[in-house]
Structures are given as structure tokens and as C-alpha cells.
Structure 1
Amino acid sequence: MEAVKHVPWLYNFRSSEGFIVIVVSIAIFTDVFIYGMIVPIVPIALVKRAGAREEEAQSWVSILLAVYGATLLVGSPLFGYFADHCRLRKLPFIVGLIALGASTGLFVVARSLPVLIIARGLQGFSGAAVWVVGLAIIADNVPPDRVAEAMGHTSIALTWGALLGPTIGGVMYEKLGYYGTFAIPAGLIMVDVVLRFAMIEESGAIQPDKAGLDATIEGYQRHMYGTFVRQEDEYSGYFSSGEDTASEQGLLLIRASNPCFDHPRLVYEKRATIFDLLRTPRLPLALIATVVMAVIFSALETTLPLFVMDTFKWSSSGAGLIFTITAIPSFAGVYVGKLIGRSGARIPGLFAFTIAAISWISMRFVKNNTAADITLLIILLLAQGVSIVFVEIIAMTEVSQVVDDYEADFPGAFGDKTPVAQAYALFNMAFAGGQLLGPILAGGTRVWAGWNTMTLVIGLVCGCTAIPVGLFSGAPLRHAEDNRDDEAVNLSSIVMRGYDGKFYATGHLPHDKFDNPEPDSFEIFTPYKGTTLFSMPLHHSCSELLAKFLDYSVGTTPSSYLGVLFRALRSFHDEASKVYRGKIKYGRITKQQGQFWYPTISTKSFAYDPFFTSPELLNYYQNLPEIEQVPEEDNDCKVCYIKATLETDPFSKLPPELLMMILIHLPVQSIRNLRHASVAITRLRLPGSFWKEKLKRDMPWLWDFPYQEAEQTSRNLNWRKIFNDIYIGSQGNGRSPFLSLANRHRVWRICEQIAPRYADFQAEREMVEARG
């Protein structure tokens, strides 16, 4: 059976988070650049090529802008719905590219007003596709805690595309004529074509041979997984070759009937829609912030050029270059995104709208053609640029976070796919509405009441927006008690039993020790300001070891003991390499060292034994050949340093002392034998459709999260990516490592034996260091 058609060329690179962000950012830059480039040449094209009279040129320019806005407003919900209901978002993304290419081509050949109108309309559809689908693709492929950072890249693309488009368009027309103006857009579109087609969404990377898979499922049910009982009343269509008929309904969590574990599984009930999100305060508030951001941006475009030309007697070129000042802060977009990702939207949003209000109101003090007033204007425009960058990233990030948090609160409410594209459609419509409102509000107020009143009105709009943003945006605040007055801590503060029945060691790590924890840096108290909860998943067999290790008999234990245990367990993490640093985040399964690793709040992770909740897999591995152990007296060995030849080798990064202890238990003093023995038995042939349908019921260890709010652990997990990774690896074709469950099981077995020795080793070393 040939179950996998092929693995795409450069699959890892083309499906990587960084490449996807670059593709979307370049798509946004291309769209905004071409839109802006058309602006200075449209009046000329109307008169010289389309035959419009000069006195009608301004009216036709307004009509073309209105056509663009109308198609943007109409296209946004259409592309949002399309993207949320098609298998791959890449398809509508490419449709938008086709619309952009057709629009640019029509502008090149246009010699009539209808053709120009059609070209501008297609440009609006293209903008809708880029913004709605592109941002949804980022939200799908970037972990939630790094979405804001990714949006920083899109903010840079938006700002500089809007700035460079009109400038370069005017220069190109003067130097190369009408046709020569489109040389750069043609080049950008060709680059965009290559990148959009090269991008791979994880959910569509590998397509299984469904006929072959269906033919093997019965065998797996009969022979390998006899305890999996099909329940017709609740799982209709689960093993059908057609589409899952139940997928047309919504989802509701109930308890599983499997007695081996207590874990929720899914049945189908009413499905939520985008309108349910609009009933929450956060999404409407994010849309209001988007409208105000667009008002700020368009108000500057409408009023600032005429103001500086009248006040400072600048030329039109100088008036255009003044916008470069507002674009400078966009270079910090990535760092702003990181800040928002760490601190949330509330405080940065309050800061952004506050400085926007202050800077707008302060613009009334720019009155004369003096160096002091010019300097003041530059400072105020820099502040405006900072506020725009903050609000852009906050608004774009909040839209996806609202969807994610709703899914976390009501798991499965949206069915198989969250309506993140429809949410971004609302974002795009809000931005378009702000662009329409800004010129009317700013231009009309300045004409009827003057510059000072106009700046006051816009400043008050920003100030009024700052209040609800500062109070209600971002995730709800969690209040914690400050309880740090005990020298020793009760056992309940150290070990938790999760709702799944398993044990977790917990602690609180001060922020300043977050990246490089030491034993004494743990504070085992209830949460308090300045610390982050740290949860450590424990192998089920380690409960007895932990009891001995922490000395339960006295009921209390120093925090440093848990720190030593942490150091013993964290040795399974790749400390020497920064390749995976930052990729193991809260609420997400991450693939590392050829295995799926448990996520924690920190960037550290630990292997977790899956056999506790999957007796079928436990039985399978119990029947595998055992690795012989070295006799107890034969413990004199040297650490063998070898160069790892397999990326799946989980042993190459262990500390020397821990590696030496493992080697004691091998018949030959080389880690290579253990690695090869484990790799040889990790190629299970598990049919993809089996895991796709049974994943959440029969392999809960893939997403159980060691945290007090474990019932919300299913959010933001890309189940299709997990399915693809398992499926590819199960074919044994050498192109992708499998779960390496045998490695993990044996590592834990050995860890149980050497952990006390490792603790003694650490204690001896600390005593020697203290004496020295």
C-alpha cells in the first residue's frame, strides 16, 4: 500500500513559521505598494488615456476610490467565509493574487473609463484577499504567543508599502513614462507568485491515499486495537470512506466511556458562529480600535500635506516626505509585537491611544514657520507613528486571540475550523470604514472649524478609545494572592493531581530566573506578582520516586529540592542548542528531537510517558525485546562522546554525568547501541484516518496539559499538523521521524534508576564547591 503520495520538496522550509510570515508580509507590501503607486498616475490616465475632461478628473478619482472601497467591503466577508470553509486557505489567497495581476494588467492597457473602474474594483478584491486570508494564515501557523510578533512584520510591510508606493510611482512616471511605471509592480507580482505557490500550509502538506487507508482500518480494529469499541449512536460515520456526516453539526464535550482514563471526548451539538464572537466585548472593542487607527492614519493623509504647505511654505514633495517620519517607528514593529505578546493588549493599548490623544491635541501648538515649530511637529508625528504601530499590531493580534480564547472557553464550539478568516474580514471592513470616516471627520472639521478644533476632535476620539481599551481589551486578568511568608511549604503546594488523575510537580519561577533556572530560584508558593507558574509533568512511575526524593514524611520541603529534581529532569531538553528555544510554549504540542514534547509555560520541556493512558500501546511495548543490563559490579566506565548521526537521537545533549549513569546500564559502553535499538522499533504503521478520528479519544497524552486549568488545553492545537506528522512518520520511509515512543519509555525507565544517584552526585558536588 502506497499511503503517502509524496513529501513536498523543501517541506520543512516551505511550511515553516518564518517563511509563511515572510510570504504574507510580502503579499501585503505588494498589494499596498501597487495601490499607492496608482494614486499619482490615475488623474493623468483619466485625462490622457480614458478621455475624461480635466474638470471631471477629480470626480472620477473619487469614483475610483469609492469603487475600491466598495469592492473591499464586499470582498472581505466573501473571502472570509470562503477561507473558513475551504480545505486550504492558500486557495483564496491565490485567487487574490490572480485579481491583483488582472487589475495591474488592466491598468496597463486601459483606455476607457469602464476598464479603469473594473481594474480598481479587482484591486479592492485583491486587498480583501490579502488582508483577510493572509492574516488568517498567520494566525493558523504561528503560536498564539508569537502572533503579535508576526503582526509586527506585516505592520512594517503595510507602512512602507503605503509610503513608497505613491513616491516611487510618481518618480517612475516622470522618468519612464506610463508603461515604464508598471515595471516594479510586475516584478513584485512575479515574486509574489513564486512565494504564494511555494508556501505550504501544514494541513495540506501530505495527502493520504484514502482508499488504501480505509482498506486497512478493519484489520487494526480487529487485531491491534481490540478494546476500541465503535459506538454507532455517537460515532456515526467515523470509519466511513465518505465525509463525516456528523461534521455538519457542532461540538460538545462529554466524558469518555473508556475506563482506562478519565478524559473528555467529542460528540456533536450546536455550532457557534462569528456572531457569537460579536457578542463578546473584546472583538467589538478590537474593531473599534481598528476604526480609530484608520481614522488617525487617513486624517493625517487628508490634512497634513495642506497644513505644512500653508504653514511652512513647503512644496508638494516636502509635504509628501513628511510622512516618512510617521513610518520610522514601524521598524520597531517586531519588538513591539514581542512586547504585546508578553504583556498582552491592555497596557500597550492604553499607552498607544493616550500618546495619540496627547500628540493630536498638541499639534495645535504648531503655528509658525520656525525651527522650533518644525521640530515640535516632527516629535509629534513620531509619537503618532508609534501609536499607529502599537494599535495596528494590537488590533490584528486581538482578532485572532478572541477567536482562540472563545474556542478555549467552549472547546469545539466552531467545529473543525475556527472562523478566524471571518473575524479578519470584520477587521478589514472596520479598517475600510475608518479610512472612509477619517477624511470626512478631519477634512470637514478643518474646513468648518479650523485646524485647532480638528486636532482637538481627533485627540478626544483617541482619548475616549483609550479608556475601554485599557479596561477591557486582552485576556481577563487573573488575580493571585501574595503569600510568601513561609520558610517551608506544605506538600499540596508542590505536587498536584490533575483532573486526569496524574501527578504534576509545580512551582513559581521568578521572571528574572525564567530562562536559566537554578535550584534555589524556585519559589514554591501560591502565585504572586513577579513569578510565573511552572508545571512539571511526572512519569506515573515517578510518584514513588518523588515521595522519596522530597521526603513526604515531614509534610514540608525546601524549595531547593524541587529545583534539584528539575535539573535532573530538564537534562532531557536540548540545553546546548537554541534551535528550539522559544518554540515550546503554553498550550501547544511541539516537535523536538524527533518526538512530540509536552508544552510548559516556560521554554523548558520534559518527556512524558504516554503508556499510563494508552494500555494498548503499553502492551505493545512490553512485548518488545528488553535491553540487557550490565551487572551491578561492572560500573567502571568512561563517557563516550560520539557525534550524533540521527536528528532523532535524544541522548546526544545529555549532561556528561547523566550520560555516564545511563551508560552503566548498557552491555556495551556506547550510547550508539541504545539509540539504534530504540530507533529500530519506533516505526509503527498506524493508518492516518484511524488517528485522525480517534486521536482525541485514544491518545489523550498528546494534549493533556500539566496545569490547573487543564480542561482548556485543546485550544490552538493544529490537529491536522499532528495527524500529518504521525502519518508521515508511520510509513517508515526515513523522511520524517516518528514519535520515538520506545526511546522515551526506555529513557524514563533508566531515569527512574539513576535519578537518586544523580541527586547524590549533585549534593556531593555542591558540598565540594561549598568547602572550596
Structure 2
Amino acid sequence: MELSVGKFWKREFAPSLGFVAFRSSKWYILVAACWALYTTSFYYTSTVLLIPFTMTEQAGVPEDGVQIYAGVMMACYSVILVIGGPLAGYWADVGNSKKRPIMVAQTFLLISTVILWKGTHVAVLIVGRLCHGVAGSIFWSAGQALLADAFGAESIGNAVGYVDLSSSLGYLLAPILTGVLLDKSGVDSVYGMSLGFACISFLISAAMIEGGKVSDAGQTTSMAIPDLSSTLAGRLRLVRLLLRSRRMLAACLGCFVAGLVLVTYDTIAPIHMERTYHWGPWEVGLALGAWYGPKMLSIIPGTLADRFGARWMTVVGFFGCIPCFVAVAFATDDTSRSKALFILMTVCLSIAISFANTPITAEIIYVLDDKKRTNPALFGTTRASGLGFGFFLFSWALGATIGSLTCAKIVDSASWDAAIYSLAGWCAAGAVICLLWTGAREGPKTQVPEIPLTLESSDSEAGKSQESIACPKLGLGSLGDDPVHWGVGETKIYHQFIR
């Protein structure tokens, strides 16, 4: 099988003439989303490195409380993602524009940078971290929903691969640049750099024009199918439909495990390196590059997921993490052999988790695509991609919150290897769930014509003419799971429900 990034770009990004067309092209939308996620990822990772080395001096935290407060700071970010992800996804779906929430996120990112830069108390720093969580929740839900609308289900895995590539680039560069600047120039230079990236991201998003939307493969648009997506009852029925899907639940549980593993390792690895290997910011930054760098290969599992589905790559990715965690649990002494083992296994972990994280994210859109074909009334004219990525972010952030709090306590109360073994156990659970319930990618969809609502007349035994409505399956629960014939009275009640 040939994986050609060039073919993807030629197919997806046709040349556009004019500056307005350029700003509304899929290429520019992808750049805007990727730069926003690069910026928030860079800032997130930069603070991961800054917190252990600056919290004592900046906020007066005692040395023995740094590990706990580091976990709390990570959890503050993750808690906002849990709450804000579904809300941001809902906002993106029901609003007239997905650009508006993204601009709000850009504003919160600027505010967060200034607060964390100048804050001198733990409570102030927590507020800054919460603002960063608001920005991240909107970027990861509304931003990816915008991409899903632009690319469609047939290419979303590849697009998510580029998103993961850009965020991984932020994860890779942040510890290196932060470590160098922190050693040579101090904290101000690090936050100044982050603020510069945030300003550039704000301007790029402000110039974006929403456009380039693609229609769903194998779908036709017909006024005969009613649109329930604009009603609260319709949205709640759509949520119930998705939560009753084993594929959707499996995808959410896979995202939960991926978020737990990624953020937990982010939280405990820097302090382990500082305490065990006695490394400073520069050495820790380089070592974190071994964790974030290989994630730039995420474009490969994204492309494979578009062709073959998320199941086997996710399973292989989670199972591949287990022996790596078992090996890294032995890197507990200050020797060259232990340090080399730690770096090598960190690289292998990064590759393995990339093969789990990107496909399981794309699986969300695959499920939505399949559900929309069989339940067009509940989806209406939208893809519900904001809702889907709201589910993704809720699950991912919930895992991140639980992991950053519990594993930090395990390290303090038990040991490094106990925390690592717990991560291996989570990966085993994630692999089994995805093996059982995630779906294989279906082939190209054939166009299936929709059956319109038709008015039929018939004569009754009493000789009176009667009218009824022939209705296809609409996925409306008690209102009509099967094709039925409704009388005029039932039809009036049905339309009252819709409106």
C-alpha cells in the first residue's frame, strides 16, 4: 500500500484564486486549526516544564509540595476540558459560525499567558490555568469540528493526523526552547515567546473565512426528511442515540485511556527525571523531546485509519505500550544504563500511543457518519461533529484529570514503578475494549435515495375518502421506528413535535 502525502494535498487542496478564496480554502482552514492547536500544545508543554522549576520562587510553594501542586495545575486544565468540551461542541453545532468560538478561545489563551506570566500566588496561577483550559476545550472541539465539516468522513483521519502532527510539533519544540531560554534568559523570555505565538494564532484565526465544506459521501439532501437537529428534544434524542452505540462508547473509552496515559506521563516524567537523574531544565527538555517527537508520525495511522478503520491500529498501539511501560519501570537509579533505558522506552511509548490516539479520535467521526445515514432526521443539515468532538474531549480530559491526580499521589505515596504499572494496566483495558467494540472502516458508500414523505388517498368501507402519510424510518424512538402510515391527525402531532 502506498502512502502518499503529496496525493492527499493534491486531492484536498485545489489551487484557489483570490485572497478571499484563499482564506476560505480547506488549506487555510487546516493551517488555522493546526496553528491554534500547535500554540496551545506548545504553551501546555512549556508550563509542564516551568511549573516544577519556577513554582517555588514565583508562588512560594515549599519544595516538598511541588509534586502535589504540579498535579493540581495539570488537573485544573483537564477539569475545564471535561466541562468545556461538550459545551464548546454544542456551541459549534447550534451556532451560525464555528469561527466565533475559536476567536473566544484565542482571547482566553492570551489572558492565560499574561496571568501565568505575572501571577505571584498559587490561586492566581490556578485561574490562569483554568483560562488555558477554556481555550484548549474550544480549540480541540470546535476546531476539529470545523475540520470535520471541511474534509468529511473520508479524509478526517488524515486531517486529524495533521492536527496531531502540529500539536506534536508544539510538544516537541516547547521543552527544548523552554529549557534553553529558562537557563539562558529566565522566565520572562519563555512567556514572551508563548505570548508571541498566541498573537500570531489570533491573527491567523481572525483572517479565516469559513468555507470549503464537503457533502457527506452517499448522502442526498431532501426536504422530505424533517430536521430535528434544531430542537432541544431532537438534540437530546441524538445524544441518546449516540450514547446507546457500543462503537461510540468504545471510542470514548479509548479516548479516556489515551488521555490518561498521555497526561499522566507528562505530569510524572519531568519530576522523575529531576529527582532520580538530577537533570536540570535543559536535560529534561531534551528528554521530553524523545516523548513528543515521535508523535509527529501520527499522519501515518491517520491515513491508515481512513482506509482500514481504527480497530487494529488502536489495539496494536495500546498493546505496544504495555511492554514499554514494564521496561521503563526499571529505570529507577542514577546510572547511564537506566537513563538510556528510560529514553529508549520513552521513544517506543510515543510511537505506540500515537497509533492508538489518532485512529480512536477519527473513529468518532466514522461513527457519526454511519449514524447519520440511518438517522437523517436527528442530524438534519449538520454533521454533529461538534457534539462528536465534545464527546472526544470529555472522555480524553476525564482520563487526563484522573491520571494527573491519582498517579502523582501514587508516585509520592508508593513508588515510580507502581504508577507506571498502573498505566500499563489501563492500556491493556483500552486494547480489549477497542478490540471488541470499535468498528472496521467501511468501503465507499453507494448513493441510497431517500424515501420522501408522500400523501396517499384511499377509500374506506364507509365510502369516505381518507388521507395518510407514508413515512420512512426516521430513528425517532417512540414516534416512528419503522415505516408506518399516519393519519392526518397523527401527522399534525408529529409536525408539532418537530417545530
Is the Cα–Cα contact under 8 Å of residues 43 and 57 in structure 1 kept in the other structure? no
Distance, in Å, in 1 between the alignment partners of 2:245 and 2:126 is 39
Q: Does residue 35 of structure 1 match 2:44?
A: yes
2:130 equivalent in structure 1: 121
Normalized per residue, which structure has more helix? Answer: 2
Distance, in Å, in 2 between the alignment partners of 1:191 and 1:382 is 31
Is the Cα–Cα contact under 8 Å of residues 138 and 147 in structure 1 kept in the other structure? yes
Q: What are the residue-to-residue correspondences of 1:234-383 with 2, within 5 Å?
A: 265-267=224-226, 271=234, 272-305=237-270, 307=272, 314=279, 317-364=282-329, 366=331, 374-383=339-348
Is the Cα–Cα contact under 8 Å of residues 79 and 398 in structure 2 kept in the other structure? no
Q: What are the residue-to-residue correspondences of 1:487-498 with 2, within 5 Å?
A: none
Is the Cα–Cα contact under 8 Å of residues 178 and 285 in structure 2 kept in the other structure? no
Output the amino acid matched with 2:225: L
2:360 equivalent in structure 1: 395
The structural deviation recorded for 1:407 is: 0.4
- Equivalent residue pairs, number: 426
Distance, in Å, in 1 between the alignment partners of 2:21 and 2:76 is 41
Distance, in Å, in 2 between the alignment partners of 1:65 and 1:311 is 21
2:435 equivalent in structure 1: 470
The structural deviation recorded for 1:15 is: 2.4
- Quick one: structure 1 residues 377 and 185, their matched pair in 2 at CA, closer, same or farther if it must change by over 3 Å? closer
- Quick one: structure 1 residues 121 and 461, their matched pair in 2 at CA, closer, same or farther if it must change by over 3 Å? closer
The structural deviation recorded for 1:138 is: 1.0
Matching residue within 145, 151, 167 for 1:142: 151
Matching residue within 128, 132, 147 for 2:141: 132
Q: Does residue 408 of structure 1 match 2:373?
A: yes
Distance, in Å, in 2 between the alignment partners of 1:165 and 1:185 is 9
Distance, in Å, in 1 between the alignment partners of 2:63 and 2:418 is 32
- Quick one: structure 1 residues 409 and 120, their matched pair in 2 at CA, closer, same or farther if it must change by over 3 Å? same
The structural deviation recorded for 1:327 is: 2.4
Is the Cα–Cα contact under 8 Å of residues 48 and 266 in structure 2 kept in the other structure? no
- Quick one: structure 1 residues 137 and 267, their matched pair in 2 at CA, closer, same or farther if it must change by over 3 Å? closer
The structural deviation recorded for 1:401 is: 1.6
2:207 equivalent in structure 1: 198
Is the Cα–Cα contact under 8 Å of residues 38 and 166 in structure 1 kept in the other structure? no
The structural deviation recorded for 1:277 is: 0.6
Q: Per-residue displacement from partner, 1:682-732 (whole Å, max 9, x unpaired)?
A: xxxxxxxxxxxxxx99xxxxxxxxxxxxx99xxxxxxxxxxxxxxxxxxxx
Distance, in Å, in 2 between the alignment partners of 1:41 and 1:375 is 24
Output the amino acid matched with 1:127: G
The structural deviation recorded for 1:142 is: 0.9
Output the amino acid matched with 1:168: L
- Quick one: structure 1 residues 65 and 411, their matched pair in 2 at CA, closer, same or farther if it must change by over 3 Å? same
Q: What are the residue-to-residue correspondences of 1:529-608 with 2, within 5 Å?
A: 586=444
Matching residue within 151, 164, 183 for 2:192: 183
The structural deviation recorded for 1:390 is: 1.4
The structural deviation recorded for 1:130 is: 0.7
Alignment identity in percent? 23
Distance, in Å, in 1 between the alignment partners of 2:72 and 2:343 is 34
Is the Cα–Cα contact under 8 Å of residues 299 and 439 in structure 1 kept in the other structure? yes
Is the Cα–Cα contact under 8 Å of residues 309 and 441 in structure 2 kept in the other structure? no
For the residue of structure 1 that corresponds to 2:224, the secondary structure is strand
2:8 equivalent in structure 1: none
- Quick one: structure 1 residues 349 and 107, their matched pair in 2 at CA, closer, same or farther if it must change by over 3 Å? closer
Is the Cα–Cα contact under 8 Å of residues 329 and 417 in structure 2 kept in the other structure? yes
Output the amino acid matched with 1:152: G
Is the Cα–Cα contact under 8 Å of residues 46 and 57 in structure 1 kept in the other structure? no
Distance, in Å, in 2 between the alignment partners of 1:83 and 1:107 is 28
Q: Does residue 24 of structure 1 match 2:40?
A: no
Distance, in Å, in 2 between the alignment partners of 1:149 and 1:72 is 24
Is the Cα–Cα contact under 8 Å of residues 305 and 316 in structure 1 kept in the other structure? no
Q: Per-residue displacement from partner, 1:17-66 (whole Å, max 9, x unpaired)?
A: 2322221111011112123334455578766666x465797476555444
Distance, in Å, in 2 between the alignment partners of 1:147 and 1:132 is 14
2:349 equivalent in structure 1: 384
Q: Does residue 75 of structure 1 match 2:84?
A: yes
TM-score under structure 2 length normalisation:
0.74
Is the Cα–Cα contact under 8 Å of residues 32 and 158 in structure 1 kept in the other structure? yes
Distance, in Å, in 2 between the alignment partners of 1:109 and 1:313 is 28
Distance, in Å, in 1 between the alignment partners of 2:293 and 2:56 is 36
Distance, in Å, in 2 between the alignment partners of 1:327 and 1:144 is 27
1:562 equivalent in structure 2: none
Q: Per-residue displacement from partner, 1:172-197 (whole Å, max 9, x unpaired)?
A: 34433444333322321232122212
Distance, in Å, in 2 between the alignment partners of 1:308 and 1:113 is 24
Distance, in Å, in 1 between the alignment partners of 2:112 and 2:99 is 20
Output the amino acid matched with 1:195: I
Distance, in Å, in 2 between the alignment partners of 1:53 and 1:37 is 19
- Quick one: structure 1 residues 60 and 298, their matched pair in 2 at CA, closer, same or farther if it must change by over 3 Å? closer
- Quick one: structure 1 residues 48 and 465, their matched pair in 2 at CA, closer, same or farther if it must change by over 3 Å? closer
Distance, in Å, in 1 between the alignment partners of 2:399 and 2:75 is 14
Q: Per-residue displacement from partner, 1:283-315 (whole Å, max 9, x unpaired)?
A: 211111112112222332344445556666655
- Quick one: structure 1 residues 361 and 119, their matched pair in 2 at CA, closer, same or farther if it must change by over 3 Å? closer
Q: Does residue 85 of structure 1 match 2:44?
A: no
For the residue of structure 2 that corresponds to 1:413, the secondary structure is helix
2:469 equivalent in structure 1: none
Output the amino acid matched with 1:413: L
Matching residue within 461, 474, 492 for 2:426: 461
Q: Per-residue displacement from partner, 1:387-435 (whole Å, max 9, x unpaired)?
A: 2211221122111222111101212322232332122122212222222
Is the Cα–Cα contact under 8 Å of residues 322 and 424 in structure 2 kept in the other structure? yes
Distance, in Å, in 2 between the alignment partners of 1:287 and 1:182 is 34
For the residue of structure 1 that corresponds to 2:377, the secondary structure is coil
Is the Cα–Cα contact under 8 Å of residues 356 and 462 in structure 1 kept in the other structure? yes
Unaligned runs of 5+ in 2: 1-15, 214-218, 454-471, 474-499
For the residue of structure 1 that corresponds to 2:367, the secondary structure is helix
The structural deviation recorded for 1:90 is: 0.9
For the residue of structure 2 that corresponds to 1:267, the secondary structure is coil
- Quick one: structure 1 residues 441 and 357, their matched pair in 2 at CA, closer, same or farther if it must change by over 3 Å? farther
Output the amino acid matched with 2:185: L
Is the Cα–Cα contact under 8 Å of residues 251 and 360 in structure 2 kept in the other structure? yes
2:466 equivalent in structure 1: none
Distance, in Å, in 2 between the alignment partners of 1:426 and 1:78 is 10
Distance, in Å, in 2 between the alignment partners of 1:309 and 1:115 is 26
For the residue of structure 2 that corresponds to 1:428, the secondary structure is helix
The structural deviation recorded for 1:163 is: 3.8
Is the Cα–Cα contact under 8 Å of residues 274 and 423 in structure 1 kept in the other structure? no
Distance, in Å, in 2 between the alignment partners of 1:383 and 1:299 is 16
Q: Per-residue displacement from partner, 1:586-631 (whole Å, max 9, x unpaired)?
A: 45xxxxxxxxxxx99xxxxxxxxxxxx9xxxxxxxxxxxxxxxxxx
- Root-mean-square deviation (CA, aligned residues, Å) is 3.8
Q: Greater CA radius of gyration, 1 or 2? A: 1
Q: Per-residue displacement from partner, 1:89-111 (whole Å, max 9, x unpaired)?
A: 11111111111122223344545
Is the Cα–Cα contact under 8 Å of residues 353 and 466 in structure 1 kept in the other structure? yes
Q: What are the residue-to-residue correspondences of 1:216-231 with 2, within 5 Å?
A: none
Output the amino acid matched with 1:297: L
- Quick one: structure 1 residues 429 and 311, their matched pair in 2 at CA, closer, same or farther if it must change by over 3 Å? same
